[in-house]
Amino acid sequence: MTSWVTNIAINPNTGLISCQIFKGFFFKFYLLHINNLSVCPFLLAIIGRLLDCLGTKISKIMATLGVNIDHIANVRQARKTVEPDPVQFAFLAELGGADSITVHLREDRRHIQDRDVFLLKETIKTKLNLEMAATEEMLEIAKKVLPNYVTLVPEKREEVTTEGGLDVKSNVQYLKNFVGNLKESNIEVSAFIDPFYDQINYSKKIGFNFIELHTGKYAELSGSEQHKELLRIIESTHLANDLGLVVNAGHGLNYNNVKKIASINNMNELNIGHSIVARALAIGLEKSVREMKSLITSN
Ligand code: PXP
């Protein structure tokens, strides 16, 4: 039996389900929107059965967008003043459709400050993803802030940005205790790792709920080398899914390279910062200069 519904897209993170009807017509509509993660798997199972009866395949799971606003804080800290305020920009990011807000509270506090994290938790309407190193200081902060999830990243003082994935394989016992401690406070935990078989397996053994696959290498490469790295990310996503891990990805993603990563089946969320903030400057600067010019020239 053929169905008039040709394409179903589901995001288990938000519960957003959209259907494309009539083959060849790119018409989508939203069936329902639920924000309850726990009912989703059951709902998806029931919908899956129904669709089987109709002969329709669940063909794709839409990825969500986590917007990293560290660079807003970078500009503020360049002057150690109060603007631009990342809390305000989180609101704008949400207006634009961000599904979550990501901030990295670094040990040296070079951009995001403790105050930002606490205020974001109070004010954002989506989800707060706190990126941090697995240190005792950060653990204490996370347990006070209670973000929706924590992403553990490696951190070196001298690096410009996070350079590689966390080596979970070399720190199994320490990370097990650390992750367990966060989970006791009802915080879900993700590991930012390179797309390697071992790292994924150990992430599962340690007890992470999510992994975030490092796409930095994919972003730097081009041509056939980039394609090879893409395949590695696709295989890693499938392996992690088979183990029951939810898969996010991020680092170096931009307006040119994001589509192929976003279209990986079961990709949950993409965390993107630099290219979005760079684009905001490109499309916003002209207007802000115009406003200043008008203030100067009008009386
Ligand atoms: N994911 C992680 C774990 C990161 O550390 C960063 C950079 O702070 C990002 C995603 C976002 O990377 P980008 O700024 O290159 O988009």
Is 106's C-beta closer than 6 angstroms to any atom of ligand 1? Answer: no
Domain that holds residue 42: 5-54
Least confident of 44-53, 197-206, 289-298: 44-53
Would the CA dihedral through 131, 135, 137, 140 be positive or negative? positive
What is the CATH number for 208? 3.20.20.70
Is 274's C-beta closer than 6 angstroms to any atom of ligand 1? Answer: yes
DSSP state of 227: H
Single out the residue in 54, 72, 95 at which a domain terminates. 54
Exposed / middle / buried, residue 185 (Cβ in 10 Å: 0-12, 13-18, 19+): middle
21 and 151 share one domain: no
Is 269's C-beta closer than 6 angstroms to any atom of ligand 1? Answer: no
Closest atom, ligand 1, to C-alpha of 71: 14
Q: Could you read off the pLDDT of 265-286 as tens digits, one per residue? A: 999 999 999 999 999 999 999 9
Is residue 185 included in any domain, yes or no? yes
Q: 164 falls in which pLDDT band (50, 70, 90)?
A: confident
Q: Could you read off the pLDDT of 241-255 as tens digits, one per residue? A: 999 999 999 999 999
Which has the higher per-residue pLDDT, 49 or 137? 137
Is residue 76 included in any domain, yes or no? yes
How many domains does the structure of the chain reveal? Answer: 2
89 and 211 share one domain: yes
Is residue 80 included in any domain, yes or no? yes
Neighbours of 77 (CB within 10 A): 14
Identity of the amino acid at 189: V
Active-site choice (104, 111, 214, 269): 104
Hey, whose CA ends up nearest to atom 3 of ligand 1? 192
The reported pLDDT for the residue numbered 156 is 79
Provide the whole-model pTM.
Answer: 0.82
Residue 134 has pLDDT above 60, yes or no: yes
219 and 176 share one domain: yes
166 and 35 share one domain: no
Is 165's C-beta closer than 6 angstroms to any atom of ligand 1? Answer: no
Distance CA 285, CA 275 (A): 15
Tokens encoding 77: 């800290």
